Amino acid sequence: LVSEGYSQLGYQYVNVDDCWMEKERDATGSLVADKERFPHGMKWLADYVHSKGLKLGIYEDFGTFTCGGYPGSKFYLEKDADTFASWGIDMVKLDGCYSDIEDMEYGYPAMSMYLNQTGRPMLFSCSWPAYIVFYDKIPNYPKIAQYCNIWRNYADIQDSWDSVLGIIEFYGNDTGNFSSVAGPGNFNDPDMIIVGDYGLSYDQQRVQMALWAILSAPLLMSVDLRNVKNESKALLQNDYIIRVNQDYHGMQGRRIVKQGPFEVWVKYMGLDAKTTAFAFLNLNEGGAPIEVSFPVVKLGMKEAEGYNVTDAFTGQWLGILKPNDIINATVNPTGVWMGVAYFDC
């Protein structure tokens, strides 16, 4: 992360997932790191990560057990929050296995309170809405946004195009209007970036980077950075795409057109929401690229003075376009064309 430039671009969390702990708590009821895999303990690991200018995230579960069968935090929320703070943890993901969704209504806010009471800043990642969605219910997103910094609301991502496509469809449908509650301090989390793994073509990797940027999604990589291909590394480190993702206004983009395999997504950026990132998706899995001609005004860009338009992946300036103009683009199968229109007047 540090030596190859990822941290300088904003990738700062190193997160330990499930199964990091011993199968039993100690005599005081405290969690204990697996003594073989983490012989120095989590405090030592956090200190090491911090020495690199990075942050350490950890996994727990609201239920009686984690999804992997390790001790859960139910009945130990305050103790675990205090433990994480004493170790120097910077992010806590709280999953929802082995628990009832009715209990989550109270349990996740309680954990939020206990984390805050420690006085240590810890980003709180909740799986609360994902379990509610699993039971075909609509989460109370405004309430979730009060207590969680980021939250998962769909199934775990897999290393496949079908998995990415399912997430895109879920976020495009926006059931429950969850996009409306996204903003600084609270974001929807469509799950990890799998760019650089084995399940996506190059074009499909571009789609994931583009859409996660449009969605203002957390960019948490799931890839062996020691062996990532150069083309994938370039996508993960694409500063133009990261700037769209990290726009300080934090507005989540939305799908505005779905016509068969063709989709249009937009994200309005800046405090005046007049700069626009937009993406044309071609979800056909075969055949030739499609030629797109799309009116600028239909992207919500109505300023008569016009917009400076750039290619979002290369930063190349494409010209000044006004509301009555047409944007032309070629989009590969299972591919994306993405632009950014800056209103500079």
Point out the residues that are catalytic. Answer: 95, 156
What sign for the dihedral angle of Cα 231, 234, 16, 49? positive
Which amino acid belongs to residue 201?
Answer: S
CA–CA separation, 96 and 107 (whole Å): 10
Provide the 8-state DSSP code for 159: S
∠ CA 314-182-266, rounded to 5°: 40
272 CB-near residues (< 8 Å, 6+ apart): 343
Amino acid residing at 302: K
- CA angle 213–178–180, rounded 5-degree value: 80
- As beta bridge partners, residue 55 has 13
Distances (CA, A) of 182 to 31, 187, 254, 324: 33, 5, 12, 31
